[in-house]
Chain A
Amino acid sequence: MLRFLIHRIGQSIILLFIVTIITFFLINLAPGGPKGVTRMDASPEERQAMIERYGLDKPVIVRYGEWLKGAIHGDLGISYTSNEPVIKRIDERLPYTIELTVYTIIFSVVFGIIFGVISAIRRGKVLDHLINFVSVIGLSIPAFWLGIMLILLFSVSLHWLPSSGVGPRGSDFNVLGYLAHLIMPVIILSTTVLPNIVRFTRSSMLEVISQNFIRTARAKGAKEVVVIYSHALRNALIPVITIIGVMIPRLLSGAVITESIFGWTGIGNLIIEAANGRDYPLVMGITVVITVVVIICNLLVDLIYSQVDPRVKNVA
């Protein structure tokens, strides 16, 4: 177990290192050289000041070294637009994104499994086709467009749900207001992953049902309900854990769009601000932090999976 853990952590660190190289050099080698890496709206004098202040005249390799040294100590540089430490700005926003993502995962996993199992049990029937059809539609509708349509329907015409914001926080927290602000963002964000979980659960379930031990269970006279929910479902759900790991980057990508539609002040909104303001240290910092989140989640998923399914540990 310990060896497995050390091996996986080592791999993760290497991955993260490669990610920083890709992002740093992508940003810094872009056309225009170091001068291109300052804000477009700055005057030549301001630019010169920025170049000196942020050491942009040094070679890229040297700057990468400095950046990496800082990053290891938790310093991701200073934001161009607000002159605050990048890490502080990310720290203010990241919890909101994690909150939104966690609710979406819970929502998607619960409904994904329910619909996936129904679809598998009713294989080839109308209900199965319907669930499959709706899943593909969910994957195909542009999330931002669906979001606008929902806002128009539920906020603008019906006045049932608030159209934007993260809801009441702190001292004026109330459950109803909080949930009302969550409903639409969670639904929109879940369209990016829910269909995949449905389809994956369905195929996993069908795979298990076709195996011998299910036939044995049926042959010994177990009730169909017991066969499906006790024998089949338990085994079918193990692989579903892995797909959650795969879905994390996709969820975070979806969070950018969802947050921008619903004015959710998370990290997705922050990267759009950073991109529009050409705040490169911030853009770089966000990308690295978000990748760390992904890598940690994948690590957790692997660990859980190796605990549930002992076969995995032996392979590693």
Chain B
Amino acid sequence: MTTARNIKDSLSQAEVTKKKRQFAVLTHLKQNKVAFISFIFLILVHIIVFLGPFAWHVTPEQISKDGSLVGWSLQHPFGTDDLGRDVFSRMLHGGRVTLLVGLCSMLFSLIIGTFIGACAGFLGKAVEAVFMRITEAMMAIPNFFFVLVALTVLGTSPFMVIIVIAFSSWMEIARIVYGETLKWKEYEFVEAANASGASTARIMAKYILPQIIPSIIVSGTLTIAWAILTESAISYLGLGIQPPTATWGNMLQNSQQYIWTAPILGILPGIAITLVVLAYNFLGDGLRDALDPRYVNK
């Protein structure tokens, strides 16, 4: 009888820790002005980029009759580029692609990293040895080299770019999840769940993953920042998503030549990338501080 009650107590303890943490995180995030502003800014940018094209009907490929490299006008708020395409429209559509690549890469990267890390941590023995060696090997390859090699053989469609970036950036998440799984595995409520006959998958999903979610969110946020930077760099090198599909990265590709005649072509996408990545970095930092156990316990 007492054992049954102990098990029940331990299991509800898991719920309590979770709630306590969530509450503390929210309070701390609100106090961090920079992170909070970044968060609002990101929401706005995503709304503009994803909903903007529904209001702004000029398509990014359409060649304007006003000619190329024209300046500011009502028809073209940011002018036109070297081929006479509307820069504003290209910024919106390019932003869609860039941000989507960032978000999707992060998502895939989280899935791969969490799977590898959780399996290695929870299953132990051979799985642990193999998965962690692969993780270390992937960490030893400078990831930009990996991305270049993979894109060369797999092609440069947006989908491939997402997959390749994800496969080059899951290692940190795997290590975090691995470490956390090892830690939480030892807790009473997990042992209790184990004793009450729950399956491995169920323990993982119901008791361990929820504890890890905060750390995953932090690395996820920072992974988006990294993915956006990588996408823009490979697009700039001409090895990423190919024109005519616009991305903020490949919009910069030819902009150097026109920097004096049409400076906006070279500056606007660069600023857009910088601000979005900056906001993701600030948000990630803010979340990390908010989730730091040293703050949570206070």
Contacts and interface: CB of A to CB of B under 8 A. Distances in A.
Nearest to B228: A142
Given A137-B274, A141-B274, 18 more contacts: A27-B149, A31-B155, A139-B277, A140-B225, A142-B274, A143-B233, A145-B252, A148-B259, A249-B139, A249-B141, A250-B142, A252-B144, A253-B145, A256-B145, A275-B148, A275-B239, A290-B142, A298-B140
- Name which of A26, A253, A298 has the most chain B CB atoms within 10 A of its CB: A253
B273 interface: yes
A140 B277 contact: yes
Instruction: Name the interface size band of chain A.
Output: 35 or more
A256 B147 CA distance: 11
Nearest to B133: A18
24 contacts: A15-B140, A19-B140, A22-B134, A22-B137, A27-B149, A27-B153, A37-B153, A136-B278, A137-B278, A139-B277, A140-B281, A142-B236, A144-B233, A144-B252, A145-B270, A249-B139, A254-B144, A257-B233, A257-B237, A275-B149, A280-B153, A283-B152, A287-B145, A298-B140
- Name which of B145, B153, B232, B282 has the most chain A CB atoms within 10 A of its CB: B145
Contact of B133 (A14, A144, A260, A278): A14
Nearest to A136: B281
B24 interface: no
A36 B155 CA distance: 11
B141 A144 contact: no
A189 interface: no
A164 interface: no
Interface in A18-32: 18-19, 22-23, 26-27, 30-31
B150 interface: yes
A276 B239 contact: yes
A295 B281 contact: no
Contacts of B143: 249, 253
Contacts of A26: 149-150, 153
A63 B136 CA distance: 25
Given A30-B154, A257-B233, A15 B137 contact: yes
A286 interface: yes
Majority SS of interface residues in chain B?
helix
Interface in A265-290: 271-272, 275-276, 278, 280, 283-284, 286-287, 290
B229 interface: yes
A58 to B, nearest CB: 18
Interface residues of B, number: 42
B142 A294 contact: yes
A306 interface: no
B38 to A, nearest CB: 10
A275 B152 contact: yes
B282 A136 contact: yes
Contacts of A141: 270, 274, 277
Interface in A24-50: 26-27, 30-31, 36-37
B285 interface: yes
Nearest to B130: A18
B261 to A, nearest CB: 13
A14 B252 CA distance: 41
A118 to B, nearest CB: 19
B149 A142 contact: no
Contacts of B281: 136, 139-140
Interface in B168-185: none
Contacts of B282: 136
B68 to A, nearest CB: 21
B108 interface: no
A260 B150 contact: no
